Chains A and B, each alone.
Chain A
Amino acid sequence: MIIVTTNKLHLYLKFFLLYSFLLVILIPKSFAHGGLSLDEDYCVLTVGKYEMHFSGYQPENNGPKEFCEDIPETGNTIVVLDFMDDELRSLPVEVRIILDTEENNEDLESITVYKKDYKIYKNGTISLRKNFENKGKFIGYVTVKDENNFIISEFPFSVGIERKSSSYIYFIILALITGASLFYFGNKIRNKSLNA
């Protein structure tokens, strides 16, 4: 005999749907900010319709370890942008690192700490070398000249500021909701069975 009653079946289904819904909405694909995102384990910078692969290195401190967005320590830093779209290889690209003043600043030059002028990179790769002497917040500022249009992408990053990951909070919330749901629905099913 089928023991599960249709009433309970509905409750189970509701619970399953709630759970799957939470799984989908609470686990985002990336926890990055700005123009950078993690895509299939790539650190990707979106510039209009184009994409670049972003890598940061601090060989003095971390050997060949690669960073996406935030640079953990001050010191000599290398940032490499690899073009993921071949069209970018024929377009002039300018790269700047500017101070993150958290204000709208009209005068870009005054807050620029590093600049690589417009150039065509036929090998599809740009490397920037900068010695960050102090901790701080910066913005990577990439401009692509596509015919008469300027496509700009900004990616904020910090140097020497430890950013603690908060992604585990989502899992804790999910576990709490799952536990509470189990308790609630379990009680409901038990009460209905007793009343029947």
Chain B
Amino acid sequence: MKINYTKLLKIFLISIFYFVIDMVVAYAHGEKAMEPYFRTRTVMFYDVTWSTDNVKVGENVTIEGKFRLHSDWPQAVDDPDVIYVNQSIPGPVFAKIESYLNGVPARQSFRDMEVGKDYHYKMVLQGRVPGNHHVHPGIAIKGSGTIIGPGQFIKVSGSQKDFKFPVTTMDGVLIEDLETYALADVFKWHSTLAILGIFWLLWWVWRPLLIPRYQALKQGREDLLITRLDLTVGILLGVFVFVAIVYNYNVQANKYPITVPLQTSRMYTDPLPVADPQIKINVSRAEYDIPGRTMRMWVEVKNNGDNKVRLGELTTANLRFINKSFGHAMNNVTANYPSEHMADGGLEIDKDKYINPGESHKMFITAQDARWETERLTAFLTDVDARVGALLFFYDEEGNRKILDVASSILPVFTDDDGTGPSYQRIGR
């Protein structure tokens, strides 16, 4: 019977249709799926800036900032022995031109990062595909995955046809567009090898398949499994593949006599030199008020320095809670910082004041926002590692900043809006 190809095509298209109607477009990068202990106690991003939020195809945008590797690094996350400075974008919509960690080119991974220390990263991306893209910095940790920093929408305008990626090689050869460079060779090799692979597959599909082979084996006739013809075809194919590889290797070696192999070494950089903040913090209790979407912390701060300091900001999992009554803290918020990472209500501190040198001061910190829930940061209520971490930013009277990382076990509670209410509403006490 003849195969009706039109019918087959129709069936194929209907099948595709079924898949398409159930598809949804994903805009996020999966960060919400990561456990809160990962997002609040590993790579703590701060001072993130994007040079612009609007570029044309072929124009550059620079993303830079700092991160601290939290001192209370979770046991469930591999230590940052090997990390890679990365960007998190929806596909290859930007081309990465440069990247650095503490000024060292970050083409390769870095080794032996130090927990509790700070690093500076920078990357330059070039607009490639028009659209409004969410762009995050990211730090990939070997064995654990990529932790994503704050994201900013960057609009890329123009036409993708205008994108060119010129590169000059070490021996001075100008490649006009890396996007299309030697693409014909790539297609040629892939199609050649694909054809050979398909031929070899079809050859054995065409030969007697499983049951005849099983029967032959059962009857002790292994000699029937591979015929003289199979052997001839196999040898011919092997010889052809070998000759093709040797021949083309020589052709390519003559065409590109100077090559640099892919680099596998790991880079190292010392952490940023950060002076001892001379502040000691003891978190005596932390709780999360479930209906209030509020994290509360009771802390005791001991100022061992020579200058008065005051708490200005709490940041965790890319959420920033700013002490809005404190000018130095507000000055640290850059214009156009993405609102999705700012808690509108800010940080509330009872007994908010400058802490004198040598003084111990007890404070009650409240950080309320719906984003605890919508960013799925409340899984610590059910996690095996029910601890929450954060960075606290203190400022002296001159506006000099001191950063401390804190962490504490956290308890879920139910309280009324005013913190009172029937006793049932306070669980965990």
Residues of A bordering B, CB below 8 Å: 1-3, 5-7, 9-10, 13-14, 16-17, 20-21, 24, 53, 55, 57, 59-60, 63-64, 76, 78, 80, 82-84, 86, 89, 122-125, 127, 129
Given contacts A76-B422, A124-B371, 12 further A-B contacts (CB under 8 A): A10-B7, A59-B290, A59-B414, A59-B424, A59-B425, A60-B424, A76-B424, A76-B425, A80-B290, A80-B293, A82-B373, A123-B368
Q: A24 to B15, Cβ gap below 8 A?
A: no
Q: Which residue of A lies closest to B417 (CB)?
A: A127
Q: Chain A contacts of B14 at CB under 8 A? A: 17
Q: How far apart are the CA atoms of A10 and B11 in the complex, in Å?
A: 10
Q: How far apart are the CA atoms of A91 and B208 in the complex, in Å?
A: 72
Q: B368 to A129, Cβ gap below 8 A?
A: no
Q: B344 to A122, Cβ gap below 8 A?
A: yes
Q: Pick the contact of B290 from A7, A57, A123, A129 — CB < 8 Å?
A: A57
Q: A55 to B373, Cβ gap below 8 A?
A: yes
Q: B340 to A78, Cβ gap below 8 A?
A: no
Q: Indicate with 1 or 0, residue by residue over B357-383, a CB within 8 angstroms of chain A CB atoms.
A: 000000000001111011000000100
Q: A125 to B369, Cβ gap below 8 A?
A: yes
Could you tell me which residues of chain B, from 314 to 373, have a CB within 8 Å of some CB in chain A?
Answer: 339-340, 343-345, 368-371, 373
> Shortest CB–CB separation between residue A121 and chain B, in angstroms?
8
Q: Chain A contacts of B339 at CB under 8 A? A: 86
Could you tell me which residues of chain B, from 177 to 226, have a CB within 8 Å of some CB in chain A?
Answer: 205-206, 208-209
Q: Pick the contact of B18 from A1, A5, A20, A124 — CB < 8 Å?
A: A20
Q: B15 to A59, Cβ gap below 8 A?
A: no
Q: Pick the contact of B368 from A63, A64, A125 — CB < 8 Å?
A: A125
- 15 A-B contact pairs sorted by A residue (CB < 8 Å): A2-B206, A6-B1, A14-B11, A17-B14, A60-B424, A76-B425, A78-B414, A80-B290, A80-B293, A82-B370, A86-B340, A123-B345, A125-B369, A125-B373, A127-B291
> Shortest CB–CB separation between residue B48 and chain A, in angstroms?
18
Q: B290 to A64, Cβ gap below 8 A?
A: yes
Q: B205 to A24, Cβ gap below 8 A?
A: no
Q: A64 to B373, Cβ gap below 8 A?
A: no
Question: A24-B22, A63-B427 are contacts. A123–B414 as well, Cβ < 8 Å?
Answer: no
- Say yes or no for B65: interface residue by CB 8 A criterion: no
Q: A5 to B1, Cβ gap below 8 A?
A: yes
Q: A125 to B340, Cβ gap below 8 A?
A: no
Q: Most chain-A CB neighbours within 10 Å: which of B343, B368, B414?
A: B414
- Say yes or no for B416: interface residue by CB 8 A criterion: yes
- Say yes or no for B80: interface residue by CB 8 A criterion: no
- Say yes or no for B3: interface residue by CB 8 A criterion: yes
Q: Chain A contacts of B255 at CB under 8 A? A: none
> Shortest CB–CB separation between residue B296 and chain A, in angstroms?
14
Q: How far apart are the CA atoms of A60 and B423 in the complex, in Å?
A: 10
Q: Chain A contacts of B422 at CB under 8 A? A: 76
Q: A89 to B344, Cβ gap below 8 A?
A: yes
Q: Indicate with 1 or 0, residue by residue over B1-38, a CB within 8 angstroms of chain A CB atoms.
A: 11110011001001100100110000000000000000
- Say yes or no for B412: interface residue by CB 8 A criterion: yes
Q: Chain A contacts of B11 at CB under 8 A? A: 13-14, 17
